[in-house]
Amino acid sequence: MKNKKTITVAVTGLNAIDSPGPGIAVIRGLKESDFFNVRIIGLAYEILEPGIYMDELVDKVYQIPVPSSGFDVMLERLKYIQGKEKIDVLIPNFDAELMTFIKLKPILNKMGIKMLIPTKEQFEERLKGELNKFGEKLGIKVPKSETVFTINELEETLDDYDYPVVIKGKFYDAYIATNIEQAKIFFYKILAKWGAPIIVQEFINGNEFNITALGDGKGNMLGAVPMRKTFLTDKGKAWAGISIDDPKLLKMANDVISKTKWAGGMEIELMKEEKTNELYLLEINPRFPAWIYLANGCGQNHPEMLVKFLMGETVDPIEEYAIGKMFIRYSYDMICDLDKYEKMSIHGEV
Amino acid sequence: MKLKKNIAISESGFIFNPEIGTSFTTNSLGVAILKQLKEKTSLDKIKDSIVKNYDIDPITCEKDLDDFLRIVNQYNLLEEQS
């Protein structure tokens, strides 16, 4: 398309590491837009997030305060950044930062920064500890789970579960424990890293499937691509995956988006029980997954669709996608000059 | 016995199940059997064609065909029997 409109999009999640954030995959989709010429502002929490040093993808980077610094600190930083850059759209890519951005949304909107993100209620009802209620509301099977805060609560709760059992953090990390001692070790490990609560979940034996989907906030699903992970890292993250053809999965994604009126990207994690072939909802992540570029490879560029929607362009829902497309990640050593690292360390921008 | 209709069978012997994203490899005879299953050919006819085209007696053929179909079933390539 000629005369592409130039816009500025800020993106978080530049941590393209072994457990990657989605930022770089989102940026790749945006840079391949047929509709927009996208200038990317990277927002980084750590100065060694690899995306900071990817000059071909990221035009300018600012360090931002971690979500625990508070609402006001983040707002001040974003005001400073917006004073220098005219950001049109911001795409948050971390679960842990999303509540801050939900609170900031009306203020950022007045500053000219648009976001397509879930509401506080939508964000909270799909929290891991609330998933049973969420499943009931939507008529979707969810493995039995309970939220615990202390080791005593964990011990009491485990009396009602058969092993193996899954021990999960509120935002990240999940481990399969085959006995109470292992469960306690995982409890403390997750508690030290992510804090309480910890979720105890029934283990479902089967194949895991994931869906990335985009909702317009009015109950319409703009696109969805299901995939199966074909290679996992030791952290359980997808290192390779393949797009699949399962209408049941797409129907479930459509149900979730239409019944919740979800706004923005989401990743649905499901388990198909081997014994019964029943689908169980494991998690809903309130953002694009790190493998979102597979959707682009399948013919659905969700980051571009999200930006088009926010910029007031017509976005027609897409149902078609290529089946049997694979993604395979790889490690790559960039050689970087020290001055960029120095600028990020001293000035917090580069 | 019927192969799931969306199973992709390549002449090279690469079999892809798009419903769950799994893939397998087989030889040219395996490809021929799967293609016939997809066309809803009866097991007796499949067995007859193998006996006719390969140097194998009917009893061994039936046993080998049963073994192959058991694997095909384990790989979730067959329609569920109602």
φ/ψ of residue A300, rounded to 5: -125, 105
- Neighboring chain A residues of B24 at a CB cutoff of 8 Å: none
| AA letter at A245 | D
Taking residues A152-177, report their average pLDDT: 89
The predicted pLDDT at position A234 comes to 82
Is B79 a member of any domain? no
What mean pLDDT value characterizes chain A? 93
The predicted pLDDT at position A130 comes to 82
Q: Which domain holds residue B66?
A: 8-74
Is B1 a member of any domain? no
Cβ(A215)–Cβ(A222) under 8 Å? yes
Q: Which residue has the higher pLDDT, B29 or A139?
A: B29
The predicted pLDDT at position A1 comes to 54
| AA letter at B78 | L
**How many domains in chain B?**
1
Whole-number Cα distances in Å, A327 to A225, A233, A290, A296 = 13, 14, 11, 11
Taking residues A52-66, report their average pLDDT: 96
pLDDT above 70 for A47: yes
pLDDT above 90 for A111: yes
Q: Domain A144-202: what homologous superfamily?
A: ATP-grasp fold, A domain (3.30.1490.20)
Interface residue A28 vs chain B (CB under 8 A): no
- Neighboring chain B residues of A241 at a CB cutoff of 8 Å: 21
Query: Rounded distance, CA A9 to CA A259, Å?
Result: 29
Q: Which of A55, A44, A149, A56 is closest to A94 using CA atoms?
A: A44
Spell out where A186-252 has E strands: 198-202, 206-216, 221-232, 238-243
Q: Is A228 within 8 Å of B8 when comparing Cβ atoms?
A: no
pLDDT above 80 for A235: no
The predicted pLDDT at position A333 comes to 95
Q: Which residue has the higher pLDDT, A41 or B79?
A: A41
> What is the sign of the dihedral through the CA atoms of A193, A194, A196 and A197?
negative
Q: Which residues contact A319 (CB under 8 A, 6 or more apart)?
A: A223
| Probe site for chain B from A210, A323, A327, A328 (most B CB atoms < 10 A) | A323
Domain locations in chain A as residue ranges: 5-115+333-347, 144-202
pLDDT in tens, A164-174: 999 988 877 88
ipTM: 0.80
Residues of chain B with pLDDT under 50: none
Is B46 a member of any domain? yes
Is B34 a member of any domain? yes
Query: Rounded distance, CA A347 to CA A71, Å?
Result: 21
Q: Is B20 within 8 Å of A246 when comparing Cβ atoms?
A: yes
- Neighboring chain B residues of A324 at a CB cutoff of 8 Å: 8, 16, 18, 21
- The pLDDT-based confidence of A133 (bands split at 50, 70, 90) is confident
Is B26 a member of any domain? yes
CATH number of A5-115+333-347: 3.40.50.20
Cβ(A15)–Cβ(A51) under 8 Å? yes
Is B27 a member of any domain? yes
- The pLDDT-based confidence of A2 (bands split at 50, 70, 90) is low
pLDDT above 90 for A277: no
